[in-house]
Amino acid sequence: MDKEVELRVGIDIGGTFTDLVALDNDGNLVNLKVSTTLKPEEGVLQAFDLLMKNYPYKISSIIHATTLATNLLLGQRGLDLPKAALITTKGFRDVLEIGRQRRAELYNLFFEKPKPLIRRKFRFEVPERIDYRGKVITPLNIKSCKKLARKIKKLEVESLAICLINSYINPIHELKIKEILRKANKNLEICTSYETIPEYREYERMGTTVVNALLLPKVRTYLKNLEDRIRERGIKASLKVMQSNGGIAEREIVSLKPFTIIESGPAAGVIACSYLTKLMNIERALSFDMGGTTAKAGMILNHLPEFTNEYEVGGKIHVGRIIKGSGYPIRFPFVDLAECSAGGGTIAWLDSANTLRVGPLSAGSNPGPVCYDRGGEEPTVTDANLLLSRLPEILAGNLKLNYELAKEAIKNLSVSLNLDVIDTASGIIRIVNSLMSKILRVVSLERGYDPRDFTLISFGGAGPMHSCPLADELSIKRILIPLNPGLFSSFGLLSSDYTHNFVRSVVKKMGELKKEYLDEIFDSMLKEAIGLLNREGIKDEQRSFFKFLDLRYSGQGYELQIPFKEGDLENMKELFHKRHELLYGYSVRDEEVEVVNLKLISLGSLEKPKLKKMEESLYKDGREALKEKRKVYFENEGFLETSIYLRGKLKAKDEIHGPAIIEQYDATTVIYPKWSAKVDTFGNLLLERW
Amino acid sequence: MVDIITAEVIRGALTYTAEEMGITLRNAAYSPNIKERMDHSCAIFDKKARLLAQAEHIPVHLGSLVYGVKEGLKKIGELEEGDMIAYNDPYISGTHLPDLTLVAPIFYKGEIVAYVANKAHHSDIGGKVPGSMPINSKELFEEGLVLPPLKILEKGKIKDEILQIIERNVRTPKVTLGDLRAQIASNHLGNRRVLELMDRYGYEKFLEASDYIMDRSELLLKSRIEKLPKGSWEAEDYMESTGVEEKRMKIKVRIDVYKDEISFDYEGTHDQVKAPINAVYGVTLAGIYYTLKCVIEPELDINDGAFRPIKIKVPLGSLLNPIPPAPVALGNVETSQRNVDVLMRAFSKFLPDKVCAACQGTMNNLLIGGYDDIRKKFWTFYETIGGGYGARKGLDGVDGVQCHMTNTMNTPIEVIESEFPLIVTRYKLRANSGGAGKWRGGMGIERAFKLIAREATVTFIAERHKIRPWGLFGGKEGAPGELYLIKRGKKVRLKGKCSIKMERGDEIVIKTPGGGGYGEPKERDKKFLLKDLEDGLISRIKFNPNS
């Protein structure tokens, strides 16, 4: 008898669709799409019911990516934040509002700061002070704490953040305040900054703590409710949630630290790439994910994505990067992605100097591009691709594309530009490609890496259509297009591990630090990590721990993360100098090196999904998959006779030469002249430039 | 005909290259000035030294590179492949001595096709005080080392003797040389990127694109100017102290709009003074370009084309166009702000919906330093402090923020305390400081420091301690700045520009000015008044003085 079929299920809630992917133990992938519902859990449950009806197998794990946290903070309609308050050191209640004093837009006289998440009226101060060494210089005034506790109760505050100056080094006052407030009000949610993220720099720590306090009640209720209702369907698997660090955690654990799931969705695509690079032994890869409204780029080195600690929710983006001061800072390792407003639905327009521009506005999926014939009037990137004959007549979901409407829309632009319609369409593609090439530069060249050594992994509904010219722009020679480009992100949910991050700031010269002191701090983090792993039921052999120090030259404003070498600080200093040299071109060996943070990452590794092996092709030239030939436009050559293939009929070892197009349900791959594509044993397309 | 799509792609690539140069500079820099505060700018010029693209993080650099690169190249004469020049002479470079400018020619097939340049604020360039911004110098020579345009790289090789001169003349040689290396790296990167563009598109296409980029800005600005009311408008405002003595010095501008041109005439502006508040011509230009971009077209790409419809006349020997050897250290940080105020006020007379009331109008420069007897070493701490932003039509002024010509970040309290013998005793919005109005001015900031070392010297440089930030159309003035020293419980008011000794336990309290209001206060929506009252940003007494 066959062994029992088990499904791993990933659920990703997007603005338009809720995607469910299920993978069985043989590597068969199933995708179910339902419309996203006003109450997001309803859509999820609909998808589950659909799954159970069509695939009545045991569900072994459920991994969820959610944008609830972001939507809550950005004030999406129908989502209200709880009434929250902040307690801080006397003299500092405006730290939250002043931020870093910087304005996010230089030349806009009508700019506004992001609205403070807790208004002044609800920001309270208590007399107390701790100095930078952790010494109490003004004792906590217990009487005023008690008075405040009564006041906060009277105000019917639901959630409270506590963040005191220098508490990262000594939390005694924060914990005492928590105790007093807890005594006075049993139902109050309380987040101290020390327990949330004990990292130095008060504004960022305070902001993160406040965000956590604001998210906590709603996120906890949502996740608990969702798990309960899944359980009602007889599914025993617990609910796991994707975090911004690309790792998963049990529902119970993220419910206490909801600030860790802000960028829950986007991390998944990069995790899928990491997994693929490991499987195929690719050392250096760039991920490129292009959908309907945005394109995102990331870097994967030695099978690991890059992380950033500088993230702001709701921040404005400039050339791929978030502008400092434009959103709410969160201190947590986020999978580092550069982003731009470029997708299939991105609108092309003329600015006041009669210059052709693409984006940032998008027609989204409703009304969508003009050619969808759903009332869209402004030409989009998809309309341009259609005019260049790159798209099939009918898209996924039986959507018939209207060529004449698209042509009419682009003609309006071409008349003003005094260009031919096709040249205008090709212009739109060239401009959107040049925008997207910048985000690839941001994640590679800006970090000192030469993109020529990288493989570009291109996915998302629109990614494979644009990858050849993007690769050319950066002189990249290899492109990898996964089997299901449109579902690849969701696949990432199924290939991630349990990951938890811990941090303690010390800010001390290396020369002044004793080994025992560092060990003590690492041990306390280790204890915390083990506690979480126990709760998640991770076995010993699945566990691994990684220690790091954040180092800098004394007085510098930025730190570099260096792997911690047990008892060998000298060696670490040397590693730091070398890394500084690599990144910034120089080192200063006679300068003192400072330890800013101690970091611990705990990993609970899970068995990875199997990929299905593909049958080998008989002729190895794709002839069995050939659908038709038609003229397709390419930027440098104009219209060329081009072979169109069906991806579903391609087999392992098939090799196709550009110009060619490969069509599939969820994406279209355009292979430019001078490029060729080979199908590997897992059905991935490997494109190479000759 | 120029291929506009290619030109547009090249335009995007050049703008991004300037940005990437900026990121390289910041990443490789050593001092917090550049790393945290981003006090640097990068740009690309064509072979005639006309600006093509620029990435500036603080607007005061906006005009100075345009002016400074042309002047610097004029002085140096012939350049060869691999050469790079460095200079900081304010009368050539267009800002003050701490800003070091580096320019390199780009050679393609043996001839100069373009230039890359960058400018960064160094934490010290010598002179009579740490930080090189003395408040009482009478000549440029007191402000630090003056470098005329010199080759710092010759045929790709660093000239050690130049580095040695710098090393022996500054207080923080390691930091300064580290930052200088970052500047060299930034230009190298820019050079590489521009050559990649040449290889990809060819020199001809690059030239076509350059013309297109500049013409496009020119056309855009002209089309905007054409739509403006035609006529002539004047405004004036005052500086309140030279640094050496307290007196009112007028800054006056007349704006004329005719057809598709706009002109700025500063006739009537006070003569230059023997004190550091003179602003070199490049700084004056920066104020004009900044205000114009804000008021007329925030999306305008600043390049040579954008300057063509603008005519500028600044009397030689005046506060805004001094002749050597007048000192200029504070022109950048203080006079530059007043220049914007005057321009904004003139614009308010014909574009009332596009402007803001006066912002705090100062940068509140704070320098504290001395010998730290706890850590046993010398230290200097420098920062600028935000204040109230002016109210706009339909919007209150922003509270506690950097205004106009600067945009540097604050230093976190926990960073200050772990590195310097200081305790920050408060950091808050200054209630009641925003000017009343239908739309109120932004609130200033109150920030105070207690010294825990034996002694230190404090230098504070601010304006608007006497002459308040003005309101518009019935809006009231913002509160003026205030500075106090608290010594053994006794509070003493200090002047807006001063240099004093502090002892252990002394506390220095800085209150920054609020922004001016916009429109009649009696027209203010009660809802907003109530909210400010509840939030403690205004007190009942101020809310209705007659009740």
| B377 touches A: beta carbon within 8 Å | no
B12 with A434: Cβ contact below 8 A: yes
Per-residue confidence at B232, pLDDT binned at 50, 70, 90?
very high
3-state secondary structure of A114: coil
Query: Count of CB atoms within 10 A of residue B201's CB?
Result: 18
Q: What mean pLDDT, rounded, does chain B reach?
A: 93
A113 with B417: Cβ contact below 8 A: no
A131 with B535: Cβ contact below 8 A: no
Interacting residues of B356 by C-beta distance below 8 A, sequence separation 6+: A109, A110, B344, B389, B390, B391, B392, B397, B515, B518
CA distance B538 to B531: 9
**Domain boundary residue among B218, B245, B268?**
B218
> B356: which chain A residues are within 8 Å (Cβ-Cβ)?
109-110
> B4: which chain A residues are within 8 Å (Cβ-Cβ)?
355-356, 417, 419, 427
For chain A, the distance separating the N- and C-terminal CA atoms, rounded to the nearest angstrom, is: 49
pLDDT tens-place string over residues B350-408: 999 999 999 999 999 999 988 999 988 888 888 999 999 999 999 999 999 999 999 98
**Domain boundary residue among B163, B191, B218?**
B218
Low-confidence stretches of chain A (pLDDT beneath 50) = 1
Kindly state the DSSP code that residue A52 receives in the 8-state scheme: H
pLDDT tens-place string over residues B424-457: 999 999 999 999 999 999 999 999 999 999 999 9
A431 with B219: Cβ contact below 8 A: no
Residue in A closest to B419 by C-alpha: A555
Residue B472: closest CA among B514, B445, B436 = B436
B12 with A132: Cβ contact below 8 A: no
In this structure, what are the phi and psi dihedrals at residue A375, rounded to the nearest 5 degrees?
100, -5
A101 with B182: Cβ contact below 8 A: no
pLDDT tens-place string over residues B507-540: 999 999 999 999 999 999 999 999 999 999 999 7
Least reliable range by pLDDT among A176-185, A195-204, B2-11, B333-342? B2-11
A434 with B9: Cβ contact below 8 A: yes
Q: b/e per residue, B20-44, with b = 16+ CB within 10 A?
A: bbbbbbbbbbbbbbbbbbbbbbbbb
Of all residues in chain B, the percent with pLDDT exceeding 70 is 98
Q: Name the burial class of residue A164, with classes exposed (0-12), middle (13-18) and buried (19+) by CB atoms within 10 angstroms of its CB.
A: buried
- Give the A:B interface size as CB pairs under 8 Å: 183
Q: Strand (E) positions, A344-449?
A: 346-350, 356-362, 394-395, 399-400
The number of residues in chain B equals 547
Domain total for chain B?
A: 2
- Do B119 and B101 meet the contact criterion of CB atoms below 8 Å apart? yes
A120 with B19: Cβ contact below 8 A: no
**Angle separating helix axes A421-443 and A463-473, nearest 10 degrees:** 70
Hunting for tokens 């990121």 — which residue is that? B23
Supply the DSSP string of B133-144, one letter for each residue: --SS-SSGGGG-
Torsion of CA A84, A88, A93, A97, to 10 degrees: -60
Supply the DSSP string of A179-190, one letter for each residue: HHHHHH-TT-EE
Least reliable range by pLDDT among A159-173, B121-135, B458-472? B121-135
> B401: which chain A residues are within 8 Å (Cβ-Cβ)?
98, 101-103, 113
- What are the CA-CA distances from residue A178 to residues A72, A166, A295 (Å)? 25, 16, 43
Interacting residues of B8 by C-beta distance below 8 A, sequence separation 6+: A355, A356, A427, A431, A434
CA distance A679 to A483: 9
Q: CA of A19 to nearest chain B CA: how many angstroms apart? A: 36
In this structure, what are the phi and psi dihedrals at residue A243, rounded to the nearest 5 degrees?
-105, 170
Whether the bond between A659 and the residue before it is cis, its omega within 30 degrees of 0, is: yes
Q: What is the pLDDT of residue A2?
A: 53
Q: Pick from B5, B414, B425: which is nearest to A132 by CB?
A: B414
> B428: which chain A residues are within 8 Å (Cβ-Cβ)?
91-94, 98
Q: How many degrees, rounded to 5, is the angle at CA A250 between CA A73 and CA A199?
A: 55
> B453: which chain A residues are within 8 Å (Cβ-Cβ)?
none
| B504 touches A: beta carbon within 8 Å | no
ipTM of the predicted structure?
A: 0.95
| B32 touches A: beta carbon within 8 Å | yes
Does B79 reside within a domain? yes
Q: Summarize the confidence of residues B23-38 as an average pLDDT.
A: 81
Q: What is the pLDDT of residue A78?
A: 67
Q: What is the pLDDT of residue B547?
A: 38
- Print the domain residue range for B493: 356-547
Q: Pick from A92, A325, A507: which is nearest to B418 by CB?
A: A507
- Do A82 and A72 meet the contact criterion of CB atoms below 8 Å apart? no
Q: Name the burial class of residue A559, with classes exposed (0-12), middle (13-18) and buried (19+) by CB atoms within 10 angstroms of its CB.
A: middle
Pairing of strands A338-340, A334-335: unpaired
**Domain boundary residue among B167, B190, B218?**
B218
Q: What is the pLDDT of residue B459?
A: 94
Q: Strand (E) positions, A309-373?
A: 311-313, 317-318, 321-322, 328-330, 334-335, 338-340, 346-350, 356-362
Handedness of CA A112, A67, A444, B114 (dihedral sign): negative
- Do A180 and A141 meet the contact criterion of CB atoms below 8 Å apart? no
Residues 478-497 of B with CB under 8 A from A: none
- Do B238 and B250 meet the contact criterion of CB atoms below 8 Å apart? yes
CA distance B253 to B270: 11
Tokens of B99: 């800003």
For chain B, the distance separating the N- and C-terminal CA atoms, rounded to the nearest angstrom, is: 72
In this structure, what are the phi and psi dihedrals at residue A250, rounded to the nearest 5 degrees?
-65, 150
Tell me which of A357, A584, A633 to substitute to probe the interface with B (most B C-beta atoms closer than 10 Å).
Answer: A584
- What are the CA-CA distances from residue A548 to residues A531, A560, A569 (Å)? 20, 10, 12
| B290 touches A: beta carbon within 8 Å | yes
Q: Which amino acid is at B539?
A: S
pTM for the full predicted model: 0.92
**Residue B142 CB-half CA count within 13 A:** 17
Pairing of strands A58-65, A84-89: unpaired
Residue B384: closest CA among B91, B133, B152 = B133
Tell me which of B213, B401, B450, B538 to substitute to probe the interface with A (most A C-beta atoms closer than 10 Å).
Answer: B401
Per-residue confidence at B243, pLDDT binned at 50, 70, 90?
confident
Q: Strand (E) positions, B400-452?
A: 422-430, 444-451
Between B173 and B105, residue with greater pLDDT? B105
Tokens of A569: 């600080």
Q: What is the pLDDT of residue A15?
A: 67
- What are the CA-CA distances from residue B18 to residues A79, A555, B9, B377 (Å)? 41, 27, 14, 38
Tell me which of B2, B5, B192, B381 to substitute to probe the interface with A (most A C-beta atoms closer than 10 Å).
Answer: B5
A585 with B20: Cβ contact below 8 A: no
CA distance A491 to A489: 5
Residue A99: closest CA among A113, A89, A85 = A113
Per-residue confidence at B545, pLDDT binned at 50, 70, 90?
very low
Interacting residues of A34 by C-beta distance below 8 A, sequence separation 6+: A17, A18, A20, A43, A46, A47, A50
- Do B253 and B265 meet the contact criterion of CB atoms below 8 Å apart? yes
CA distance B438 to B256: 30
- Do B356 and B340 meet the contact criterion of CB atoms below 8 Å apart? no
Q: How many degrees, rounded to 5, is the angle at CA A623 between CA A620 and CA A628?
A: 150
A585 with B181: Cβ contact below 8 A: yes
Q: What is the pLDDT of residue A566?
A: 76
| B422 touches A: beta carbon within 8 Å | no
Q: Which amino acid is at A116?
A: P
Query: Count of CB atoms within 10 A of residue B156's CB?
Result: 11
Query: Count of CB atoms within 10 A of residue A281's CB?
Result: 7
In this structure, what are the phi and psi dihedrals at residue A416, rounded to the nearest 5 degrees?
-65, -30
Pick the CATH number of A6-73+220-260 from 3.40.50.300, 3.30.420.40, 3.40.50.2000, 2.70.98.60: 3.30.420.40
Tokens of B13: 């690539």
A417 with B4: Cβ contact below 8 A: yes
Helix ranges (H only) for A249-366 are 251-256, 266-279
